[in-house]
A and B are shown apart, each in its own frame.
Chain A
Amino acid sequence: MNIDLSEEAAEYGRQAVRAFEAAGGDDLVRQAEREPKRRAALVGPVLDELGALDLDPRGDAAELEAAAALCRAAGYFAVPFPVAERLSRPAGADGLLVVDGARPAAAVAGLDLSWTAVTLDGRRCDAAARAPEGPPRTSAFVTGLDLRPAGAGGECARDLALGLVLPCWTLLGMLDRAIDLTREHVLLREQFGQALARFQGVRFQLTEAEVERSGAEALAKYALWSVQDHRGEAADDALALRLAAVEAADVVFRVAHQLHGAFGFCDEAFLSWLSRYGQPLRRLPLGPAGTRDRLTRSLGRRGLTGPFGEARERAAR
């Protein structure tokens, strides 16, 4: 079992970072907030250039890794478009959304796309996005969805696993960026005659955040492998990843904001944008408490299989 991304996928991710950067980088989300109607037009050409929609993450193991790398790159710039959701689409739809059946919503306002939704308890529906209730500044493009049950068929468990895992890669890209921005800030910002990075209290907070981020990264790779390997427990692994990622996001953004100081809450600072546009990923379909509850109920007393589960079972026999 090798959970690292292939060199090809990693290279594709680097190309994606360069392409998003060339298309405006941090300005993409700023422009999309000003002109929400243009967000598909802002991001579409970059995705075309990268051949993103030709990727087949469901059918091809290598392309699943490339898709994950692309999502991570999109997160790095808080790209204002549901890249992961488009990439995980099932046949016959433009994208896949994992939703909480009781309160379906997603950051897909104002896009002319047809969506398939899968609820956390594994029901497949067609989803229509309502008109957004507020401007993106306040809604971060989140809007309510009207669900209509779709016929049986399809692979709900696989939808669920893929539909949870890829957006976590987007969130991972946001955590990468939050750490990078904070690292740059504490190296540059001087108080008391030295860079903040020289204060141990500052260093320890940043390292605590980085430990959380890297833990989420390791689980993201493991859950991706679990999907790739068509494992029966892939949906549980995806949910476990999601919990780890939203918990890591709590720590990373708390530290990033504290260490940025007041500046981090101003529009001048990209952290403020990253933090705002990361909210849908951290709250939907469920926030940390709801995710934990769902995972606990799903696992019961069984626990996660984990990388060494089979070996453990064999040893027990």
Chain B
Amino acid sequence: MTGVRGTAHDLAEFRAEVRGWCREHIPADWRRAQTGVPEEEFVAFQKEWFQELRRAGFAVPHWPREWGGGMPVAEQIILYQELAAHDAPRLVLAFVAIHHAAATLLAAGTDEQRRRHLPAILDGEIWAQGFSEPGAGSDLAALSTTARRQDDGYVVNGQKVWASGAAHADWCLLLARTDPGAPKRRGISYFLLDMSTPGIDVRPIRQATGESHFCEIFLDDVVIPRTCLVGRENDGWRVAQETLGAERGMTMLELAERLGNAGFRWLLETCARPGPGGARPVDDALVADRLAGFETELTALRALCRDLVERHDAGTPGPADASVVKLFYSELLQRMTGFGAEIAGPAAHAELRKPLSSGWESGAWALDFIGSWEWTIPGGTSEIQRTIIGERGLGLPREPRGGR
């Protein structure tokens, strides 16, 4: 399935293959079946879906061939377009593992670390990310969790926050300060943390929606063996920068395709539903105008994403391309879900369950709207993205800073 193809004919054939696969393998009623299920069922469904994709060679197409990937970018684009068009479940639980953890191991891990974890990830090992702290959000380098050398390892103390899915994680990517005396970016090391180690306390954070998707992780004298250090000691900031900056274009392309397919379709359906007075919102010129605006923006977003992955593949990415895409997607998602909540009216506020395993748009508009802040805040807030675009993209002078 992952042979080298390139001609238009080959790609058309591949698209037909993926379409056939989607029709056969995507559970027809997963949205209904996955709405309001208990956590354990969500976890089981996610793991099973991951294995289904893996059997087809679709789980980690972006990994190198020797580890089970190797799909050409042109085919990956088709794969994600078709998965979105057929409204496939999203890989939520495996996300950190197949993207951040894998990128870290591939870029900076030892052979032993790769052999230990990459096959395990394919078998279902779940990862979380322990980067943010109460005092270190946008300013990640201000983190204060410490890792002290002891015997043949480190003893870690501190607190991490906003770790998505940490309650289910087997392993965690951890940044901790190994040299408190060094300038703040130079004293940080990158670790792989086994979540079953004694001294780890994971507490879910109750969110406005009533969900507890994020967790706090408390680390109390947690011992990490030296073999779990990634890269050199005190070189963790560079490792994190490299892997955080690893190719995210394909995941953005997938999300943009989902927003443009099912997301926009639901918005149209919501607007076509007669309101309490009998009239359909879509017959209102103002509503139609907004919809046309969204469709234009979606088309632009999808083109931007495609351009991003192709330029990355060709080795000609612009310095702020990824930030442009993230900012555009985040704010478009927020406007679209906000509009959905407005059109759906007060009833949308009483809709408090959405299908787990869905993307950031589910048609439960009030929940989707609240969820959209998970895009404008984490992973570099919209303010940070604007700063990056200004400085790296437009070459403007750096903002005056405090004690960096």
Contact = CB atoms under 8 A, between A and B. Distances in A.
Contact of B206 (A257, A267, A276, A284): A267
Contact of A283 (B161, B345, B376, B382): B345
Contacts of A41: none
A138 B352 contact: yes
B349 A262 contact: no
Nearest to B373: A257
Contact of A191 (B138, B206, B209, B338): B138
A140 B281 CA distance: 26
B342 A287 contact: yes
Nearest to B284: A293
B166 to A, nearest CB: 14
A243 B342 CA distance: 14
A258 B377 contact: yes
A93 B207 CA distance: 38
B20 interface: no
A194 B403 contact: yes
B137 A138 contact: no
Interface of A: 100, 102-103, 105, 133-134, 137-140, 142, 190-194, 198-202, 250, 257-258, 261-262, 265-267, 272, 275-276, 279-280, 283-284, 287-290, 293
Nearest to A202: B383
30 contacts: A102-B276, A103-B276, A105-B346, A138-B349, A139-B350, A140-B349, A142-B346, A192-B142, A193-B139, A193-B142, A193-B404, A194-B402, A201-B386, A258-B377, A262-B137, A262-B161, A262-B373, A262-B377, A265-B208, A265-B373, A266-B207, A266-B208, A272-B208, A279-B346, A279-B349, A283-B346, A283-B349, A288-B342, A289-B281, A289-B287
Interface in B389-404: 399, 401-404
Interface of B: 135-139, 142, 161-162, 205-210, 214, 275-277, 281, 284, 286-287, 338, 342-343, 345-346, 349-350, 352, 370, 373, 376-378, 381-383, 386-387, 399, 401-404
A199 B404 contact: no
A257 B350 CA distance: 21
Contacts of B205: 266
Given A199-B383, A258-B381, 17 more contacts: A133-B350, A138-B349, A138-B350, A139-B350, A140-B349, A193-B401, A194-B403, A200-B399, A258-B373, A261-B138, A262-B378, A265-B370, A266-B206, A266-B207, A284-B346, A287-B346, A289-B287
Contacts of B206: 266-267
Contacts of A192: 138-139, 142, 401-404
Contacts of B401: 192-194
A191 B342 contact: no
B387 A201 contact: yes
A140 B208 CA distance: 12
Contacts of B376: 258
Contacts of A194: 401-403
Contacts of A289: 281, 286-287, 342-343
A275 to B, nearest CB: 7
A271 B388 CA distance: 29
Contacts of B386: 201
Given A192-B138, A194-B401, A202-B383, A287 B350 contact: no
Given A202-B383, A261-B137, A191 B142 contact: yes
A102 B277 contact: yes
A298 to B, nearest CB: 16
Contacts, number: 105
A202 B338 CA distance: 22
A190 B350 CA distance: 36
Given A261-B381, A262-B137, A193 B210 contact: no
A4 B338 CA distance: 34
A262 B208 contact: no
B162 A262 contact: yes
A137 B208 CA distance: 9
A139 B139 CA distance: 37
Contact of A199 (B162, B352, B399, B403): B399
Nearest to B139: A191
A86 B349 CA distance: 25
B161 to A, nearest CB: 8
Contacts of B378: 262
Contacts of A103: 276, 345-346
Contacts of A250: 338
B396 to A, nearest CB: 13
B286 to A, nearest CB: 7
A1 B92 CA distance: 60
Contacts of B209: 265
A266 B207 CA distance: 4
A313 to B, nearest CB: 31
Contacts of B275: 102
> What 9 A-B pairs are tightest by C-beta distance, nearest first?
A194-B402, A193-B403, A193-B402, A102-B276, A191-B139, A103-B276, A272-B208, A283-B346, A265-B208
Given A192-B402, A199-B383, A283-B345, A137 B210 contact: yes
Given A191-B138, A191-B142, A199-B383, A267 B403 contact: no
Nearest to B348: A283
A258 B277 CA distance: 35
A289 B282 CA distance: 13
Nearest to B341: A287
Nearest to A279: B349
A219 to B, nearest CB: 21
Contacts of B373: 257-258, 262, 265
A283 B281 CA distance: 16
Contacts of A202: 383
Nearest to B142: A191
Contacts of A272: 207-208
Nearest to A293: B284
Contacts of B399: 199-200
Contacts of B338: 250
B20 to A, nearest CB: 41
Q: Most chain-B Cβ atoms within 10 A of its Cβ — which of A140, A192, A257, A287?
A: A192
B224 to A, nearest CB: 26
